[in-house]
Structure formats: C-alpha cells, structure tokens
Chain A
Amino acid sequence: MALGFAIGVFGVLILFHAAYSTIQYRGLLKITEEEFSGPPFNVIITLSSLNLLTMMRFLLSNLWFLGSQVVTELSLGLVLCMWAALTVPGKFLSIHPDSEENRIVSLPANVDFMIFNHRGKVFPVEMDLKLKQ
C-alpha cells in the first residue's frame, strides 16, 4: 500500500516537472515572439492511449509542438497516476452475504457466562462451522 502511494506521488511529481518545463517553454516562446498553441506533438501522441480515433484526431488537431521531454513526462506521469488511483484506495470486497470471506461466525466476548448443559444438546452438531479470526 505504501508502494502504491509512493508511485502515485512520483507520478504527480513528474506532472509538476512537466508543467514547469512547459512554463519555461512558454517563456522561451515569448522571447522569440511566437504564439503558443500547445505542447509538442510527441506529448499528445503518448498521452492518448485509447482507440477512439475520432476523439484522438479531434484532440490532436492543433497540438503539434512542445518538447519531447515534456511529452514523455506527461505520458509517464499520467500512466503512473492511473495505476496508483486504481491500486491505492483498497481492494473491492464481496457483497454476497454467503461468500467465504463474509462469514460472521465468532465467539462471544463474555465466555464466563456460557453454559453448555442446556436443551440445545439434542440438536445435531454442525461440523463445518469455522471460527472467524
């Protein structure tokens, strides 16, 4: 769990670094007096990982320049954050009441008041009960 958290933090840091690089790049563009229209073409390509082609073409239509370093960073950061977001919050628990891990067989806390010499001894003994740890 700590590993997943660390990977998530690492992914966020990568994104921050990419943001900083982009800001520096925009400063450079200001110096050369060009217009900023988007991150480098590489960034976009790597960021898109789905096969919805029309959406992709739409998103990529005017994004064609940003450093390749920012691209790789953005894509790597996004993948790491995606993995962390799906792993860190915890496992899914089964909601079936009769599944194996949802057993509620347990001993009562006050064993001093338990007696066994009562009329329940005529019932058949269930041999498959398990103590839940």
Chain B
Amino acid sequence: MAVHSESGSQEKKSGNGLNELLTFNAENMQNNMKIIYYSRTFLSIIGGVVAGILGFTGLKGFVFYLLLMAVTSVGLVAKAKFSIPTYFDSWNRVLLDGFLGGLMSFVLFWTYPSLMKYDNISEV
C-alpha cells in the first residue's frame, strides 16, 4: 500500500515574480541553476579562446562575449522548451545569471592564445 510521507528532499519555499504557485521544489531549482552555471562557464572559456585566436582586441572582444551570451541564453530558453515557469521562478535567472562570472573567465582565456606564440613564456 502506498502512503504519503514527508521526505526531506522537498523543501517548500516562497516564490515571487512570475511563479503563480507560492511554493516550489528548491532542490530541482538548484539543479537547474547549476546547469545554467556550467553551460555559461564552459561557453565563456571556449569563447575566450576563440576570441584570442581571432585576434579581437578591446571593444570587439566584449561585443563578441555579449553575442556569445545572447546565443547561450537563446539556447537555454530552447532547452527549457520555452516554458520558463515550469523550471524557474523568474526570467531573470535564466537570462542574466552567470553573466558577470563568465566574463571573468572569458577575459582570462582571451589572453592565452596571444601567449602561445612565445617559446619561453617567462619572457612575456
């Protein structure tokens, strides 16, 4: 016989913004945020290497990063099958989260390809 039981995995939390339900499953919410963070960080690093190879300098690199993050946002929204309220409590999370953290990684890896041409890195 099946019974109802309260397990620790479902912690109820108040939502706000676009979520019309007042509670949501926080563990799944955290899982979704983790996925967004991993995706954005990986693509920031790859984008940094590509920008370095292409020889972007100055403003061009940041425009390229903006473009990359826009494409990532579109990809994440498509991954959520365009129904954001099912997986997140607000649009800002999927569109803006991880943007500035990825920027730091992008700038770091942006400098690496220009260092690769030197035989002895200590001379840079």
A residues with a Cβ closer than 8 A to B are 8, 11-12, 15, 18-19, 22-23, 26-27, 36-39, 43-44, 47-50, 52, 55, 58-59, 63, 66, 70, 74, 77-78, 81-82, 84-86, 89-90, 92-97, 99, 102, 104-108, 116, 129-131
B46 interface residue per 8 A CB criterion: yes
Q: Is the CB of B116 within 8 A of A47?
A: no
Q: Is the CB of A131 within 8 A of B53?
A: no
Q: Which of A59, A77, A96 contacts B64 (CB 8 A)?
A: A59
Q: Is the CB of B88 within 8 A of A105?
A: no
Top-9 shortest CB links A-B: A93-B28, A129-B2, A95-B24, A89-B38, A89-B35, A38-B55, A92-B87, A81-B46, A85-B39
CA distance A113 to B43 in the complex (A): 53
Known: A23-B117, A104-B10. A85 touches B49 (CB 8 A): no
Residues of B within 8 A of A129 (CB): 2-4
Q: How big is chain B's contact interface, by range?
A: 35 or more
Q: Which of A27, A36, A84, A105 contacts B55 (CB 8 A)?
A: A36
Nearest-CB residue, chain A, relative to B66: A55
B residues with a Cβ closer than 8 A to A are 1-7, 9-10, 12, 21, 23-26, 28-29, 31-32, 34-35, 38-39, 42-43, 46-47, 49-50, 52-56, 60, 63-64, 66-67, 70-72, 75-76, 78-80, 86-89, 113, 116-117
6 A–B contacts from the bound complex (CB under 8 Å): A15-B46, A39-B54, A85-B39, A95-B24, A95-B26, A105-B3
Q: Is the CB of A102 within 8 A of B60?
A: no
CA distance A26 to B35 in the complex (A): 38
Known: A59-B64, A95-B25, A106-B7. A85 touches B87 (CB 8 A): no
